[in-house]
Amino acid sequence: PKPLGAWEPWAEKLPFRLSPKQKAAIDEIVTDLRSPQPMRRLLSGDVGYGKTAVFAVAAATVHGAGGRVAVLLPNETLAEQAHREILGFWPQLGDSLRLVTGSSDDKSDLTQAQWLVGTTALLFREVGDFHLVVVDEQQKFSREQREALLKSHTHLLEATATCIPRSQALIQFGGFSTTLLDEPPIPRTITTRIRYSCERRQLFDDVRKTLADGDQVLVVYPRKSQAKGSAESEEEGINDVEAAARAWERLWPGQVRIAHSGRKEAENDEALRDMREEKAKVLIATTVVEVGVNIPRLRRVVIVHPHRFGLSTLHQIRGRAARTGGQGYCDLYLPDPPKEKSLERLSVLERTQNGFEVAREDLMLRGCGNLSADSSQQTGADDTILFGRPLTPDRLEEAIEREKTAWA
């Protein structure tokens, strides 16, 4: 492509103003893109901190210079949402912005398309070479997937709200080029509370108040449906979306929608669209809503049996609340008495709504994985750099320094 132009004209066409932090992040990324060396950079910002606008402006700048861009997302719902958002930013892109998913009917030659947005379907099509590859929600991909579209000259920008422990280790201890978004463009507070079975009535009262105020509620369960041949006791309560939806529907007839991986993408998309358009008040779902889902009036998130989820997943789910700013709520509902270790882990979310702190705790709990350049291990102990000694956080600084020295 020709030399990159200024990124500001693209930013000025956005339907909102970028924050100073977002502008600084774009400037940092575009500076790297102007370098003859291929960029390897992580854009790390908490849930709702405006990462999409940042990488979209950087990508548009490359596109404007005649470069080819690919944006990789973990599922069809998010790919369609990103495609819709980017077209909303710059309608003039028109057909030069193409959507590629597993259910796409488009069988045309993609090697000539200038800007592709898609799922891992991109990895199985002939798509040609790119000048910039953006991997959004990088924690949802393996290392091989994240780098599958790269050539020796390709710039790579990965984006995440809550890093996999391997990436968090490299950020925390200085071994990775990073752009940090550490404050939201719109101020918001999400109050998180662990709720026990004895608080069930109070929790339902809180949900009723949220709905009475004209806002919406997301309730997340660990399973999409009850396993065949199993029976849940009254003490265990309801653990799955299908059974829960029937119970919630009795309380709010016609106002309940469901989303889980057992349904067709189109059915989940319709449920999310009904929530966005305020045709429904309550969404009952699994972790299919963990990343990227934007429902403007969603004010409260209830997560049932939260001890069954990882910290990063819980943080991502609560980030669906109060996307337009203001006060949001996240209730971690434990129908059964929790184990002490589970309670200690969940209390991290009560103490902080900062995703970087959550990621640090996740690093301490799960280990950092293998930090060597050719590794795909993303969690657990690393034994490659320190010659047989398990690599835990207290040894990371030594490991990073040795790695840097080896490449010097």
Listed residue (148, 153, 130) closest to 35, CA to CA: 153
Q: Is the pLDDT of residue 170 over 80?
A: no
Distance CA 323, CA 47 (A): 9
Residue-wise pLDDT for 230-288, tens only, equals: 544 434 457 899 999 999 999 999 999 999 989 988 899 899 999 999 999 999 999 98
What pLDDT does residue 391 have?
47
What pLDDT does residue 362 have?
73
Confidence of residue 353 (pLDDT cuts 50, 70, 90): confident
What pLDDT does residue 266 have?
85
What's the average model confidence in pLDDT over 69-83? 92
pTM: 0.75
What pLDDT does residue 389 have?
46
What pLDDT does residue 379 have?
46
Say if CB 80 and CB 87 are below 8 A apart.
no
**Identity of residue 65:** A
Say if CB 159 and CB 137 are below 8 A apart.
yes
Q: Is the pLDDT of residue 384 over 50?
A: no
What pLDDT does residue 402 have?
57
Select the highest-mean-pLDDT range: 205-209, 339-343, 377-381: 205-209
What pLDDT does residue 105 have?
73
What pLDDT does residue 149 have?
95
Q: Where are the domains of the chain?
A: 8-181, 188-354, 367-407
Distances (CA, A) of 129 to 35, 70, 102, 135: 18, 9, 20, 15
Distance CA 253, CA 247 (A): 10
In eight-state DSSP terms, residue 321 is T
Distance CA 357, CA 161 (A): 12
H-run or E-run covering 189: strand 188-196
Say if CB 331 and CB 300 are below 8 A apart.
yes
Alpha helices in 69-218 (DSSP H): 76-89, 143-146, 165-172, 200-212
| Choice between 306 and 45, residue whose per-residue pLDDT is larger | 306
**CATH 3.40.50.1820, applies to 188-354:** no
What's the average model confidence in pLDDT over 355-368? 72
Residue-wise pLDDT for 17-26, tens only, equals: 999 999 999 9
In eight-state DSSP terms, residue 112 is G
Q: Is the pLDDT of residue 385 over 50?
A: no
The CATH number assigned to the domain with range 8-181 reads 3.40.50.300
Q: Is the pLDDT of residue 3 over 50?
A: yes
